[in-house]
Structure 1
Amino acid sequence: MFATLLRENKIVAGLLAVIRIWLGYNWMTAGWGKLTGGFDASGFLQNAIANPVMGPDGAPVYSWYVNFLESFALPNIELFNFIVPLGEFLVGLGLLLGCLTTAAMFFGLVMNFSFFLAGTVSHNPTDIFLGAIILFAGYNAGRYGLDRWVIPFLRKTFNKKLDKTVSETA
């Protein structure tokens, strides 16, 4: 019942739009600040590697993530210095416009969890909670946005291509 309300109710869609726009503004401004302000993630990554999240037994909780940061992210810092700000900006833009909302929120959650795994709490728990609601609501979260037109267009386009592919292989 709650899932149906969240995924189909138009009043809830309005509330989701407010949450979506607020999250989008925060993501977009964070990304824009990094895009225009000379962002460098190397210090953050070095700190996350040097000070991993520790469990009660004194061992790193996410040693696999620390290993990823050390062996892949840090050696490819130029790539991360490019994709983090751009990703934040695009997630924010998608949420603000309500365009490909669930995809934008999915990638926003991936980044939130990445920051969280690196030991940064900040506003990540709130963003993850609200982002999970947006993601679970699906199309309804973008109903009052560009998804109202984009999603039907994409469905129609992909269904035509799928029908053509199926008919060609039959």
Structure 2
Amino acid sequence: MMKFLRENAYAAGLLVLLRIYVGWQWLDAGFHKLKDGFDAAGFLKGAIANPVADRATGELVYPTFTTFIEHGALPNVKLVNLVIPLGEALVGLGLIVGGFTAAAAFFGLLMNFMFLFAGTVSTNPWLILLGGIVMIAGANAGRFGLDYYLLPFIRKHVRRHRKDGGGETPPVKRIPPQAAH
């Protein structure tokens, strides 16, 4: 199944439909937040006040994430208010046009998991399943998209950079010990 997803042209064709659907979900969510304004403060405060906890014991399920929200995200809510909608829109755009497809799927999954850790179920499990398929497919998911042109271009320039000696440590020149006089 992995080989089929990662190498088959028919799978690449089906993945176009899948990534456009998932991409549209992200682009639409990000666009509305960018257009209408977005303030995550209430959501973040709610995630701190009502963290995901075990019903039987009352223990926090994701205590480190709750701490991150309280001490990292909430004090920097203005940055979060920009990063979330912009990230959603860029993930959606990347998936729709098939540019940096696997990276776009990865960052979409990252946001889905963060929303789940904060206690929001919504469409996140569905998008995790579909986005995971796109990410697992890797470059084949963008075969019929910008990745068809982008990935060979990047590979060519990375290889050229390596050939020219860029990025490599030059060999150490050994000087033989001098004979004592």
What TM-score do the two structures reach when normalised by structure 1? 0.96
AA paired with 2:93?
L
Distance apart, 1:167 and its partner CA: 6.9
Aligned pairs (5 A) from 1:8-87:
8-55=7-54, 56-87=56-87
The list of structure 1 runs, each at least 4 consecutive aligned residues, that deviate by more than 3 angstroms after superposition, is: none
User: d(CA) in 1 for partners of 2:125 and 2:168?
Assistant: 48
Q: How many residues align structurally?
A: 169
Partner of 2:174: none
| Structure with a larger share of its residues in helix | 1
Partner of 2:170: 169
Shift of the 58–12 alpha-carbon distance from structure 1 to 2, 3 Å rule, reads same
Partner of 1:94: 94
* 1:128 is the counterpart of 2:116: no
Shift of the 154–47 alpha-carbon distance from structure 1 to 2, 3 Å rule, reads same
Partner of 1:137: 137
Shift of the 100–166 alpha-carbon distance from structure 1 to 2, 3 Å rule, reads closer
Distance apart, 1:149 and its partner CA: 0.4
- CA RMSD in angstroms comes to 1.1
Shift of the 8–76 alpha-carbon distance from structure 1 to 2, 3 Å rule, reads same
Shift of the 166–37 alpha-carbon distance from structure 1 to 2, 3 Å rule, reads closer
Gaps of 5+ in 2: 172-181
User: d(CA) in 2 for partners of 1:152 and 1:166?
Assistant: 19
* 1:112 is the counterpart of 2:112: yes
AA paired with 2:170?
T
User: d(CA) in 1 for partners of 2:44 and 2:159?
Assistant: 43
User: d(CA) in 2 for partners of 1:42 and 1:167?
Assistant: 46
Aligned residues with identical type, % of pairs: 51
User: d(CA) in 2 for partners of 1:11 and 1:38?
Assistant: 40
Q: Which has the larger radius of gyration?
A: 2
AA paired with 2:85?
P
Gaps of 5+ in 1: none
What TM-score do the two structures reach when normalised by structure 2? 0.91
Distance apart, 1:163 and its partner CA: 1.9
AA paired with 2:130?
L
Distance apart, 1:96 and its partner CA: 0.4
